[in-house]
A and B are shown apart, each in its own frame.
Chain A
């Protein structure tokens, strides 16, 4: 009895889902005409099919692509609300950097002890300590800015070679919205990351990822033009002195041009474009970041 019932259900499902051959279909329709229970069930199931198709016909269009495809290995979607709040709080907060902190300390010292005799002695001592610290700093200074820029260029070339050709892994966060990518990247670097607009040069944003930089983690944004050519833009936060000239490095067909922007970050443009074009793009990206 169970087998017979299962067979009847299988036949009814096959009829509803269009899987019965025409001859069996005709036989089933005759059976349906004589059995009200079967006819009612088929009517409900056909209505279900129609309702499902109507309900999900445009479900892919209801949410735009802008916030797409940020993934960690678990596939867990990011909590954009929390990330956005975090960035907002960070932007509202007073900037706390070495310069701001030293200015704060300086003001406090001036206010409290400007005219005291002891303060003069203390200032002399502080001055001596500062001179000693400066001497130590000079003695142990790192590579000059040009050398560091070359390291950033090398890191950008490595990132380009690793990710850009790989369609599966090219970006972690797929978006054409620079603001959305900034919202995703900034909390990961604990500082605002600017994603420049290169539409003026014909390059649209595809998305971004976090990648190893020259000295630490770096943000890597990927752009493409109408011909499908891709360029990468690597932003690595670090305290840098102003650099007046861009530094370029080439390995095979890939060239990277590195500049420092006003914000405490290096900026490197990498791709298979000609070097002068990449320099132009780097300057455009730098100007876009600096204008914010």
Chain B
């Protein structure tokens, strides 16, 4: 079996990066399929893990450093892609929830619809459980900027996951009518 074969053979470090990468790179903005997203993420994981450990800054754990490298590589990808697609279609023109047909959970749909700056902050803290200080260092932003992003991301997530009044009405009308039978 190849050393770079199925993901089950990956090191825990590589798998954790892939999990974070898949969560980060799934974005309504691009409308990529899962294979393309996985191909992108795997490439970025390879490049991240190829970094020399002596390049790691002092005071940052190896895990935070790798996540930080991954985020930087992903940001670079986004910049290049935006530059390449400039003029083809206005960014953000697609409607939120366009990918509702995909078999995702409500959280995944909400995360796809979020801007990636908010998504990367929330994923580092909620999914990867980095402390606020570590996450701010990984994203190369100030602690207050991180807190602002987290607050916005949580507000967006709450808004996306709360059923709108009309949907709530439909859900209620679909519920079976129960009667008390004596």
> Which residues of A pack against B, CB within 8 Å?
6, 9-10, 13-14, 17-19, 44-45, 48-49, 51-65, 67-71, 74-78, 80, 167-168, 174, 176, 204-207, 224, 228
Contacts and interface: CB of A to CB of B under 8 A. Distances in A.
Given A10-B147, A56-B22, A48 B157 contact: yes
A44 to B, nearest CB: 6
Given A9-B147, A17-B132, A55 B107 contact: yes
B3 A224 contact: yes
Given A69-B43, A75-B44, A51 B35 contact: no
Contacts of A70: 39, 43
B131 interface: yes
Interface string B1-30: 111111110100001101101110000000
B62 interface: no
A18 to B, nearest CB: 7
Main secondary structure of the interface of B (DSSP, over half): helix
B34 A13 contact: no
Contacts of A174: 4, 42-43, 46
Given A17-B125, A75-B81, A168-B46, A80 B6 contact: no
A12 to B, nearest CB: 9
Interface string B69-87: 0000000110011001000
Given A9-B147, A52-B111, A52-B122, A64 B6 contact: yes
Nearest to A59: B22
Residue of B4, B15, B18, B158 ringed by the most chain A CB atoms within 10 A: B4
Interface residues on B, range: 35 or more
A227 B55 CA distance: 28
Contacts of B157: 48
B22 A77 contact: no
A18 B37 CA distance: 31
A168 B50 contact: yes
A44 B158 contact: yes
10 nearest A-B pairs in the assembled complex, by CB-CB distance: A68-B42, A77-B36, A176-B2, A63-B38, A60-B18, A204-B2, A60-B19, A75-B77, A69-B43, A168-B50
Contacts of B129: 17-18
B141 interface: no
Nearest to B105: A55
A214 to B, nearest CB: 28
A69 B23 contact: no
Interface of B: 1-8, 10, 15-16, 18-19, 21-23, 32, 34-40, 42-44, 46-47, 50, 76-77, 80-81, 84, 105-108, 111, 122-123, 125-127, 129, 131-133, 144, 147, 150-151, 154, 157-158, 161
Contacts of A63: 22, 34-35, 37-38
Contacts of B36: 77-78, 80
30 contacts: A13-B132, A17-B150, A18-B131, A48-B161, A52-B107, A52-B122, A53-B126, A56-B19, A56-B22, A58-B19, A59-B22, A59-B23, A60-B18, A61-B7, A61-B8, A64-B38, A65-B38, A67-B38, A68-B38, A68-B42, A69-B46, A71-B43, A74-B84, A75-B80, A80-B36, A174-B4, A204-B5, A206-B2, A206-B3, A207-B4
Contacts of B133: 19
Contacts of A71: 39-40, 43
Contact of A77 (B16, B37, B126): B37
Nearest to B135: A17
A176 B126 contact: no
Given A54-B107, A68-B39, A204-B5, 15 more contacts: A9-B147, A14-B132, A17-B129, A17-B132, A18-B129, A18-B131, A52-B122, A55-B105, A55-B107, A56-B22, A69-B42, A75-B44, A167-B46, A176-B1, A204-B2
